[in-house]
Structure 1
Amino acid sequence: MTRLAIDQLTLWITAAANEHSLDLPAYVEERTGASHRATLAALRRLVDAQWLTRSGTTRRPVFGPGALRQVARSYTLHGLMEDVVWQRDFAPHFLLPRHVARMVQHGFTELVNNAIDHSGGTSVTVSLRQTPTHAQLLVSDDGCGVFDKICDTYELTDARHAMLELSKGRLTTQPQAHTGRGLFFSSQLADVFDIHANGRAFQRRAWEGNAWKDGKGLPRQGSSIYMAMALESTRTLEQVLEQWSVDGSGIAFDQTRVMLNLVVGAGQMLDSRAQARRVAARLPQFKRAEVDFAGVTDVGHAFADELFRVFARAHQDVELVPLNMTPRIAALVQAARNA
């Protein structure tokens, strides 16, 4: 008897159970070419593992999706419409709390649209999985890689600096068509958010605030973006939008936070005016910018002066709010403001 690979079946069995609840064994046999006996054995294993439910009678079983659900599909990017893919291929097969479904839909459509409009690739693979506790989304394209794309567009030389700009928000490589909200807000919705591109990776964990940290990159060409959120999350799309709006309405995106640990690597110092100008890049797009010193133990006089005196006086309509400073850094910042 040929033993069907369960890990391959789980990529499409959820949709199959919804669409072929009364004839699932026959559908699996036709799709895989497996024998009737092998198919029934595989379906029993999927029921036991909670990928499927089974009701009805022995002779007339009725199958349905279980507590574990997954749909994984690959698409050609040319002519792809992210809303159609979501509504047709994914949304009908998941049972998520309403507010979580709204956040998953937002992340799904934004990340797939990024692959369509920005990757320069030919294909994208999308996987959405539901467990008893989480929803997990992975979008992978075969394009140029998000960090390389940003570096080329903004004349940057380091993936870390590309991530710095992404973390500020309102960053886009096509300003005539996009506002730079999609990837930023998707990251804020998730409990876990990872960005992989061409061997580099950065990750964000919601319980660690807004911090972005180095991750272990995947050895593949293109971008892979993973987001996961708890089904019991109290977060909502509206609340996230409101957090980045100065007036709390969630309409304008006019507040940001700059994570200084993305300017230099571990053990390096923020010591130059060039680094300060890199931090200040695009901040005039915002009304309020929190400058987060978490993980930074010291800075130089030139850095503090350039950011908190030179830039601050040239852009008095931008409120700079330093956070998580050591006593020495706080003294340097205050000295620069008083100069």
Structure 2
Amino acid sequence: MTRLAIDQLTLWITAAANEHSLDLPAYVEERTGASHRATLAALRRLVDAQWLTRSGTTRRPVFGPGALRQVARSYTLHGLMEDVVWQRDFAPHFQLPRHVARMVQHGFTELVNNAIDHSGGTSVTVSLRQTPTHAQLLVSDDGCGVFDKICDTYELTDARHAMLELSKGRLTTQPQAHTGRGLFFSSQLADVFDIHANGKAFQRRAWEGNAWKDGKGLPRQGSSIYMAMALESTRTLEQVLEQWSVDGSGIAFDQTRVMLNLVVGAGQMLDSRAQARRVAARLPQFKRAEVDFAGVTDVGHAFADELFRVFARAHQDVELVPLNMTPRIAALVQAARNA
């Protein structure tokens, strides 16, 4: 008897159960070429594993999606419309709390649109999974890679510096058509957010604040972005938007936070004016910028002077707010401001 691979069935069985609740065994047999006996055995395993529910009678079973749900689809990027993909292929097959569904939809459409408009690739694979506790989204394209794209556009030489600019927000490689909100706000909505591109990776965990840390890159061409959020999350899209608006309205995106640990690698020091200018890049787009020293144990006089005296005086309409400073760093910042 042919044994169907459960891990392959779970990629499409949720949608199949919704669309073929009364004839699911026949549909699986036709799609896989498996025998009737092998199909029934696989469906029993899926019911036991909570991928499916079964009701009705022995002779007339009725199947439905279980507590575990997943849809995984691949698409050609040319002509793809992210809203159609969401509404047609994904949204009907999941039961999420309303505010979580809103955040998942936002992340889904933004990440798929990024692949369409920015990746330069030919295809994208999208997977959305629901467990009893989380919603998990993975969007992978075969394009040039998000960090390389940013480096080429902004004449940067390091994926870490590309991530620094991404983490500020309002970064786009197509300013005529985009505002640089999508990837930033998607990362803020998630409890877990990972960006992989061409062997480089960075990750953010909501319970660790806004800190971005190095991740273990995947050995593949293109970008893969993973986001997960708890179904019991109290976070909402509106609250996230409001956090990055100075007046709290959520309309303007005029507040940011710069994570200084992204400027240099572990064990290196923030010592130069060039580093300070890299931190200050694009900050005039914002009214308020929090400068987060978390994980930074010391800085040089030149760095502090360039950022908190030279830049601050040249851009007095930008409020610089240093955070998480050691006593020595706080003294250097104050000295620069008083100079």
The TM-score by the shorter chain falls in which range?
A: over 0.9
Q: After superposition, what is the alpha-carbon deviation per residue over 1:107-158, rounded to whole angstroms, capped at 9, x for unaligned? A: 0000000000000000000000000000000000000000000000000000
Instruction: Give the Cα–Cα distance (whole angstroms) in 1 for the partners of residues 52 and 325 of structure 2.
Output: 52
Partner of 1:183: 183
Give, in angstroms, the shift of residue 35 of structure 1.
0.2
Instruction: Give the Cα–Cα distance (whole angstroms) in 2 for the partners of residues 201 and 148 of structure 1.
Output: 12
Instruction: Give the Cα–Cα distance (whole angstroms) in 2 for the partners of residues 273 and 155 of structure 1.
Output: 18
- Residue correspondences, number: 339
Structure 1 residue 277 corresponds to structure 2 residue 277:
yes
Q: After superposition, what is the alpha-carbon deviation per residue over 1:241-269, rounded to whole angstroms, capped at 9, x for unaligned? A: 00000000000000000000000000000
Give, in angstroms, the shift of residue 42 of structure 1.
0.1
Q: After superposition, what is the alpha-carbon deviation per residue over 1:30-79, rounded to whole angstroms, capped at 9, x for unaligned? A: 00000000000000000000000000000000000000000000000000
Unaligned runs of 5+ in 2: none
| SS across alignment from 1:73 | strand
| SS across alignment from 1:80 | coil
Q: After superposition, what is the alpha-carbon deviation per residue over 1:141-176, rounded to whole angstroms, capped at 9, x for unaligned? A: 000000000000000000000000000000000000
Equivalent residue runs for 1:1-339 within 5 Å:
1-339=1-339
| SS across alignment from 2:227 | strand
Give, in angstroms, the shift of residue 99 of structure 1.
0.1
Instruction: Give the Cα–Cα distance (whole angstroms) in 2 for the partners of residues 232 and 86 of structure 1.
Output: 22
Question: CA RMSD, aligned part only?
Answer: 0.1
| SS across alignment from 1:196 | strand
Q: After superposition, what is the alpha-carbon deviation per residue over 1:158-200, rounded to whole angstroms, capped at 9, x for unaligned? A: 0000000000000000000000000000000000000000000
Q: Structure 1 stretches (4+) deviating beyond 6 angstroms? A: none
Give, in angstroms, the shift of residue 290 of structure 1.
0.0
| SS across alignment from 2:166 | helix
| SS across alignment from 2:322 | strand
Give, in angstroms, the shift of residue 326 of structure 1.
0.2
Question: How many percent of aligned residue pairs carry the same amino acid?
Answer: 99
| SS across alignment from 2:177 | coil
Normalised TM-score (structure 1)? 1.00
| SS across alignment from 1:325 | coil
Q: After superposition, what is the alpha-carbon deviation per residue over 1:272-303, rounded to whole angstroms, capped at 9, x for unaligned? A: 00000000000000000000000000000000
| SS across alignment from 1:136 | strand
Give, in angstroms, the shift of residue 219 of structure 1.
0.3
Instruction: Give the Cα–Cα distance (whole angstroms) in 2 for the partners of residues 193 and 12 of structure 1.
Output: 24
Normalised TM-score (structure 2)? 1.00
Instruction: Give the Cα–Cα distance (whole angstroms) in 1 for the partners of residues 59 and 181 of structure 2.
Output: 53
Instruction: Give the Cα–Cα distance (whole angstroms) in 1 for the partners of residues 256 and 236 of structure 2.
Output: 19
Instruction: Give the Cα–Cα distance (whole angstroms) in 2 for the partners of residues 292 and 191 of structure 1.
Output: 20
Instruction: Give the Cα–Cα distance (whole angstroms) in 2 for the partners of residues 306 and 160 of structure 1.
Output: 21
Instruction: Give the Cα–Cα distance (whole angstroms) in 2 for the partners of residues 314 and 183 of structure 1.
Output: 30
Unaligned runs of 5+ in 1: none
Instruction: Give the Cα–Cα distance (whole angstroms) in 2 for the partners of residues 207 and 96 of structure 1.
Output: 22
Instruction: Give the Cα–Cα distance (whole angstroms) in 2 for the partners of residues 231 and 328 of structure 1.
Output: 42
Give, in angstroms, the shift of residue 19 of structure 1.
0.1
Give, in angstroms, the shift of residue 92 of structure 1.
0.1
| SS across alignment from 2:218 | coil
Give, in angstroms, the shift of residue 324 of structure 1.
0.1
Instruction: Give the Cα–Cα distance (whole angstroms) in 1 for the partners of residues 269 and 231 of structure 2.
Output: 40
Give, in angstroms, the shift of residue 80 of structure 1.
0.1
Instruction: Give the Cα–Cα distance (whole angstroms) in 2 for the partners of residues 142 and 40 of structure 1.
Output: 37
